[in-house]
Structure 1
Amino acid sequence: MLNWNEYRKELATRVGEMGKLSPGTLEGYKALSTAGAKTGHLDAKTRELIALAVAVTTRCDGCIAVHTAEAKKHGATRDEIAEALGVAVALNAGAALVYSARVLDALGD
């Protein structure tokens, strides 16, 4: 299994390198990352649970590493995380079902 703490540290180093090569890209990412929290409609734990579900659906190991630690920091329980992941699984299955219908449509009669 992956050492997630070590991976998160290595990732931070590489993101820092990217920031030096393309500071505007990193600044834009940071602006997007913090924008939702400014509305105050969702608490930090809920945002992290959503982030974990999205991380699974987008298959982003870096997102999983960062947002798992953040979810735990904000008090998310194993059961809450599992429920959020269940939503991700259902959405992926639903998307596959919808795209299966598209294939049948493309196939024609």
Structure 2
Amino acid sequence: MLDWPEYRNELMGRIGEIGKLSPGTLAGYQTLSSAGQKTGHLDAKTRELIALAVAVTTRCDGCITVHTAEALKHGASKEEIAEALGVAVALNAGAALVYSARVMDAAAAYGRAATA
């Protein structure tokens, strides 16, 4: 397994390099990243738990290390993190089921085209 705190430090260094080379890109990301905080509809812990579920579904290790640290900082328990991850697992399974239906639809369409 990774040394997640060390990975986060290395990642932030590399992102800092990108920021120096392309400051607008980093500024744009920071604007998007902080936009939701301004509404105040969700607390920081809830936002971080959502971010962790999304990090799993998008398979982003950088997101995992950053948002795990932030979720813990905002008081998320391991049980709350596990529940959020359960949502991610269910959504990934659901998405696979939906796309399986699309495959069956495509197979039926090809079957109709072959007999036409």
State TM-score, norm by structure 2: 0.93
| Equivalent position of 2:21 in the other structure | 21
Q: Structure 1 regions of 5+ residues with no counterpart?
A: none
| Equivalent position of 1:88 in the other structure | 88
Displacement of 1:21: 1.1
1:66 has 2:66 as partner = yes
| Equivalent position of 2:32 in the other structure | 32
1:40 is paired with a residue of what secondary structure? coil
Displacement of 1:104: 0.4
Q: Deviations over 1:18-61 (max 9, x none)?
A: 10111100000000000000000000000000000000000000
Q: Distance between the aligned counterparts of 2:21 and 2:93, measured in 1?
A: 38
Q: Structure 2 regions of 5+ residues with no counterpart?
A: 112-116
Report how many residues are paired.
Answer: 109
| CA radius of gyration, larger in | 2
Displacement of 1:6: 0.3
1:70 is paired with a residue of what secondary structure? helix
| Equivalent position of 1:49 in the other structure | 49
Q: Distance between the aligned counterparts of 2:81 and 2:56, measured in 1?
A: 12
One-letter amino acid of the structure 2 residue matched with residue 94 of structure 1: G
When the two chains are superposed, the root-mean-square deviation of aligned CA atoms in Å is 0.5
Moved over 6 A (4+): none
